[in-house]
A and B are shown apart, each in its own frame.
Chain A
Amino acid sequence: MRAVIFGAGRIGCGLVGLALDRAGYDVTFVTRNPALVSQFNAVGSYRVRLVDGQSSEEHVVSGARALFTGDDLAVRRMLETADLVATAVGASRLPQVAPAIAAGLRRARRPTSVIAFENLIDAGPALSSLVAKDLPAGFPLGQHGFSGAVVTRAVSRRLGDLHSLAPLTFIGDPPGTFYVHGPSLPEGLPAVPGLVQVENFEACFNRKLYTFSAGHATTAYLGYVKGYRYIHAAIRDPEIRAAAHDAMREGQCGLAARYGPALAGDERDLDAIVRRFENPALSDPVDRVARDPVRKLGSSERLAGAARLAAVGGIVPVALPMAAAAALCFAVGAGGEVAASLPWAAEATDSDQPGSGFTKLFGADVRSAWQEMQVDWRPDTPIVHLHGHETPGGYR
């Protein structure tokens, strides 16, 4: 069995490559980094170290090879015989890899599973549409299958020198489950460690986004406001810990209302997530988790989206708007043109702006928290108290 993975970054190597190697696939990476191509081909292996703060286990992915993105012919030939194609390049780069996938699928000898490990709720259909643009009309694309993937593993770092002959090491945490949309993939997909096929991919995606990602973002943005450098330190701050927990609980309430309590999970799931944030071995910097705040403040994203869904569930979110205000602080501190890219942020930071959408629901909360953090907030003053709300009891 042959697998081609576009992207040799943290998720590509730390999760996808390892899982497919364990499943018996012959794995080839396609990357735009020529130094990485040389390193992989010279060394022939890399390591994945899975750490949970208590223990550590190391896996070796042997026989790893890599091709340069621009080596069209070699990439196409590899794809022609691939059973499985994966991408882990970042959602914004899917248009760049789609033509190569299309070229490979044109000559594919059997139905191919294409799985996009991208942070996109419709990653499968989106990649399928992009690939279709590079195929002739009437091409039977339906014989192949496209799905997104929701990953649970956090892979925080790559260690090692690209110019040495020592294997690179990727540091991640143990959870290795990833969810794909089963009905979209061809039948007969071999068992891959961690792969779980689900019917409702959207629900699965939103469960991660509105719990884990919401809590992670809350920890990072409030961590930034309070001056912490690492997630594992910020989550030990009692205020931040409570806020992260509350933000996830608010998201969970919305998920329960939309998809049912079984999918939303319970308090034990949230505790398990908080324990993952505590993992010092990931050494995950606040700034890394907080980066790209404008995207993360999108109206369907981890904070605003979770808050809107919580409202659907009859909950008045408190922690999520506060985290959104902290994200605005980060965005402004990083020099971003927030207002231009994020209309609701302008509304939240300017009381003269009319409310709409997210701000119509939570604008006053975000604005209040924003103003307090900007004007009145002091490091010696508890941020949660300043928010001016008592924690609503409805979802406790």
Chain B
Amino acid sequence: MRIGLLTMASGSTRFSPLMPEVADLLKSWGAEVSQIHPDEDLAELVKVEVRHDLYVLKAGSELALSLAGALHSAGANILNPYPTAAICRDKVVATRILQSAGVPVPETYVTARPERLAPLLDHGPLVVKPHRGTQGNGVRIAWDADQLDEMTPSGGVVFAQRYHRPDGRDRKIYCIGGQLFGVKRIWPARTYEEKVGEPFALSDELRAITIRCGEAFGIDVFGLDIILSDDRPFVVDISSFPGFKGVPEVALRLADYIYAAAEQVVAGTATLAGNGRGRAAPSEPVQERPGQ
């Protein structure tokens, strides 16, 4: 089986040491693995064609997403499927899908004119984010109307959510093929230890929310950013293929998942060619087990 990993190159600020480890495991299991670095390479678009049974879209850059889109249009199987990854990248669309699925999210507003947010500040501060941002870059809290004057819409869009003061550290919930992992983390994390965070046991409510998110997007590899405020959970972001820092044996788990996905694609028993369902391998889709 041939697997292409769309990743950031070593040396990039967004390089993940996870994927080389995943690649090594997949190779040791007999897969032909290519690491593709869209942000380093020059691609002649007419020559972009499907050369692998499965692509894994890990790189979070715009170019990687666009290249995945080009591969998708050529019929590639991509984990997660390009349409889902593209939706997750756009906070406006992703948040609306979460709302429709009954997932608790903060009140959310979008506008092209930051000053239109001013009356909303009478009811408390807002968190303003780039609507295609990642890793917390560009996130600001607006307390007063004059702060809005300094804001320029990112790509013509101002995305704002009601600020809820978090109870303690930020929480990440990761899902890999139905297994859920909770990680508490300081934000912004500076050291490696801070990035890895520490595990926390998920409540039944958080498990149910995570499962609902997976079902809403039709994927079972993803990450959620959760704020707990006065014990009320709010999902503030979903990422299609995060770094999974803090998940035990994460490279092994991902390699196992990707290998199964590729095997099913090769056998013709699953497709990740963009039918909107991104659950690859799974014999066991996201589901709740007793007590978990």
Contact = CB atoms under 8 A, between A and B. Distances in A.
A379 B291 CA distance: 12
Interface stretch (B87-95, B150-158, B175-183): B175-183
A388 to B, nearest CB: 17
Given A229-B281, A237-B252, A333-B289, A380 B30 contact: no
A77 interface: no
Contact of A378 (B201, B256, B282, B284): B201
A226 B179 CA distance: 7
A227 B292 contact: no
A236 interface: yes
Contact of B291 (A230, A232, A374): A374
Given A374-B291, A379-B180, A230 B199 contact: no
B35 to A, nearest CB: 20
5 contacts: A227-B176, A227-B177, A229-B259, A281-B30, A380-B201
Interface string A279-290: 011010101000
Contact of A230 (B176, B247, B259): B259
B29 A379 contact: no
Contact of B260 (A230, A281, A375): A230
B280 to A, nearest CB: 10
B182 A229 contact: no
A74 B248 CA distance: 58
B201 A228 contact: no
B272 to A, nearest CB: 16
B264 to A, nearest CB: 10
Interface string B177-219: 1111111000000000000000111100000000000000000
A237 B284 CA distance: 19
A332 B283 CA distance: 16
A381 interface: yes
Contact of B259 (A233, A333, A379, A382): A233
A285 B263 CA distance: 11
B244 to A, nearest CB: 12
Interface string A123-155: 000000000000000000000000000000000
Contacts of A375: 290-291
B257 interface: yes
A280 B179 CA distance: 22
Contacts of A228: 252-253, 256
A271 interface: no
B199 A381 contact: yes
A376 interface: yes
A234 B25 CA distance: 12
B283 A285 contact: yes
Contacts of B28: 280
B255 interface: yes
A381 B182 CA distance: 10
Interface residues of B, number: 35
Given A233-B253, A333-B289, 11 more contacts: A227-B177, A227-B284, A229-B256, A230-B260, A233-B25, A280-B30, A285-B283, A375-B291, A377-B292, A378-B199, A378-B292
Interface in A68-92: none
A51 B28 CA distance: 14
B122 interface: no
A377 B291 CA distance: 8
B255 A233 contact: yes
Contacts of A376: 291
Given A374-B290, A378-B201, A380-B199, A287 B283 contact: yes
A230 B292 contact: no
Interface string A170-194: 0000000000000000000000000
Nearest to B247: A380
B41 interface: no
Contacts of B181: 379-380
A229 B177 contact: yes
A281 B29 CA distance: 7
Interface string A36-77: 000000000000000000000000000000000000000000
B151 to A, nearest CB: 38
A229 B252 contact: no
Contacts of A237: 249, 252
Between A233, A377, A380, the greatest number of chain B beta carbons within 10 A of the residue's beta carbon is seen for: A380
A379 B283 CA distance: 18
Given A229-B257, A229-B281, A380 B177 contact: no
Closest 3 pairs between A and B when the two form their complex, measured CB to CB: A380-B199, A227-B179, A233-B256
B179 A283 contact: no
Given A229-B260, A281-B30, A236 B252 contact: yes
Interface string B272-288: 00000000011110000
